[in-house]
Chain A
């Protein structure tokens, strides 16, 4: 099998799976009916996209595993999502800030991935862009409302940004598999997106009257399988049924 391609697909897919699971946790727990439905709709889009990625990964791996096996039956260290998406839902400002910081990246990333030499990845990206545009519109709109809202909402949004900003740099890190795929014209050169991302996000944050924290220290590790403590709990929840009743079906 093409090991680098397999790893590259998982690098994209795991972000969608983990963030989708986080948003799914809000089902029935959103701050209002409308935001609850919005978060779970975004979750559904991400799960839809992730099915396409894992189906493709299963095809590339060609070792008898199904998309479900790949999604559900790996160990924590084998997940290669960025640390940003596994951060827990604390309050709504935190959920929205995490969402916006990822959406802004996701949209830039898919815009490039649609030009990939790989037909399947290009097709998934073209489909996903349309959905993610709505996600970005939702999260950026809410971040402006929270940042430029009441004293309380501003404080919470700024607190969220102070914590989450340290996770943004990892979005642009490249693994060996990433680099191999970039060379083949399959992968996206994320280094080229970093400046655009920082400019776009800065502009939106200015509008939201929020300030990027001064610290230049960034967290990393997710892409190498080294996660924050939060991922283990998330996976325990996600994998519980398959681990307890192997091969169960609805």
Chain B
């Protein structure tokens, strides 16, 4: 977490506030753990926040922008939120804590690129079921409930679950 925040230039006094803003589609995950906040700078009572989308068409970005403004305004700051595209978001920016939160929520966290490719082509059974932990899982579709996820099902416990696709 610490490393990611340093990488993202977020002023320390803003962390407790931003930590409470979550991804509307994955409510267990704070936007800091998700890595979408690239910078947050205070000057006086004004805050400049830069966020980056996970996927270009991610409909959650508008809501995230609004939620950031609301949270910071409540804490007495006036806020400007800017959307930046470069450098492009990568699943590497999801923190360890974030990956754990995803898994607990029922979304298998992203694998490394090579493993991800094998999994999404259905060549290897390596994505772990978030319900029972079995790797006897099968790809149902490369695109799931949102742009960032693929759909899997477990052949042991028969439960379907989402897999967060690797993006590098």
Chain B's interface size range is 20 to 34
Please measure, in the bound complex, the distance between the C-alpha atom of A120 and the C-alpha atom of B168, giving whole angstroms: 19
- Chain B, residue nearest A16 (CB): B56
Please measure, in the bound complex, the distance between the C-alpha atom of A35 and the C-alpha atom of B117, giving whole angstroms: 19
Asked if B121 contacts A127 (CB within 8 A), the reply is no
Which residues of A (50-91) have their CB < 8 Å from a CB of B?
51-52
Residue with the greatest number of chain A CB neighbours at <10 A, chosen from B53, B55, B59, B121: B55
Q: B87 contacts the other chain (Cβ, under 8 Å)? A: yes
**Closest beta carbon of chain B to A237's beta carbon, Å:** 19
CB-defined contacts of B151 to chain A, threshold 8 Å: 34, 37
Q: B105 contacts the other chain (Cβ, under 8 Å)? A: no
Q: A131 contacts the other chain (Cβ, under 8 Å)? A: yes
Q: A38 contacts the other chain (Cβ, under 8 Å)? A: yes
A 118-132 to B, binary, CB cutoff 8 A, 1 in contact else 0: 011011101110110
Q: A93 contacts the other chain (Cβ, under 8 Å)? A: no
Residue with the greatest number of chain A CB neighbours at <10 A, chosen from B56, B88, B147: B56
CB-defined contacts of A131 to chain B, threshold 8 Å: 55-56, 147
Main secondary structure of the interface of A (DSSP, over half): helix
Q: B70 contacts the other chain (Cβ, under 8 Å)? A: no
Asked if A48 contacts B88 (CB within 8 A), the reply is no
Q: A141 contacts the other chain (Cβ, under 8 Å)? A: yes
Which residues of A (38-55) have their CB < 8 Å from a CB of B?
38, 41-42, 44-49, 51-52
Q: A243 contacts the other chain (Cβ, under 8 Å)? A: no
Q: B43 contacts the other chain (Cβ, under 8 Å)? A: no
Asked if B143 contacts A123 (CB within 8 A), the reply is no
Residue with the greatest number of chain B CB neighbours at <10 A, chosen from A42, A48, A130, A131: A130
CB-defined contacts of B18 to chain A, threshold 8 Å: none
Q: A233 contacts the other chain (Cβ, under 8 Å)? A: no
Asked if A38 contacts B142 (CB within 8 A), the reply is yes
Asked if B142 contacts A123 (CB within 8 A), the reply is no
Asked if B143 contacts A38 (CB within 8 A), the reply is yes
- Contact pick for A126, options B57, B86, B120, B121, CB 8 Å: B86
Q: A137 contacts the other chain (Cβ, under 8 Å)? A: yes
Q: A138 contacts the other chain (Cβ, under 8 Å)? A: yes
Asked if A124 contacts B85 (CB within 8 A), the reply is yes
Please measure, in the bound complex, the distance between the C-alpha atom of A34 and the C-alpha atom of B55, giving whole angstroms: 19
**Closest beta carbon of chain B to A71's beta carbon, Å:** 14
Please measure, in the bound complex, the distance between the C-alpha atom of A137 and the C-alpha atom of B140, giving whole angstroms: 15
**Closest beta carbon of chain A to B94's beta carbon, Å:** 15
Q: A240 contacts the other chain (Cβ, under 8 Å)? A: no
Asked if A49 contacts B142 (CB within 8 A), the reply is no
Q: B141 contacts the other chain (Cβ, under 8 Å)? A: yes
Q: B65 contacts the other chain (Cβ, under 8 Å)? A: no
- Contact pick for A134, options B56, B142, B146, CB 8 Å: B142
CB-defined contacts of B146 to chain A, threshold 8 Å: 41
Please measure, in the bound complex, the distance between the C-alpha atom of A221 and the C-alpha atom of B73, giving whole angstroms: 52
CB-defined contacts of B15 to chain A, threshold 8 Å: none
CB-defined contacts of B167 to chain A, threshold 8 Å: 130
**Closest beta carbon of chain A to B120's beta carbon, Å:** 7
Please measure, in the bound complex, the distance between the C-alpha atom of A128 and the C-alpha atom of B86, giving whole angstroms: 11
Q: B165 contacts the other chain (Cβ, under 8 Å)? A: yes
CB-defined contacts of B157 to chain A, threshold 8 Å: none
CB-defined contacts of B89 to chain A, threshold 8 Å: 127
Further 10 A-B residue pairs, CB within 8 A, beyond A44-B147, A126-B86: A34-B141, A37-B145, A44-B57, A52-B56, A52-B85, A120-B85, A122-B86, A126-B87, A137-B121, A141-B142
Q: What are 13 A-B interface contacts by the 8 Å CB criterion?
A: A44-B55, A45-B56, A45-B147, A48-B147, A51-B56, A127-B53, A127-B86, A127-B89, A131-B55, A131-B56, A131-B147, A134-B120, A134-B165
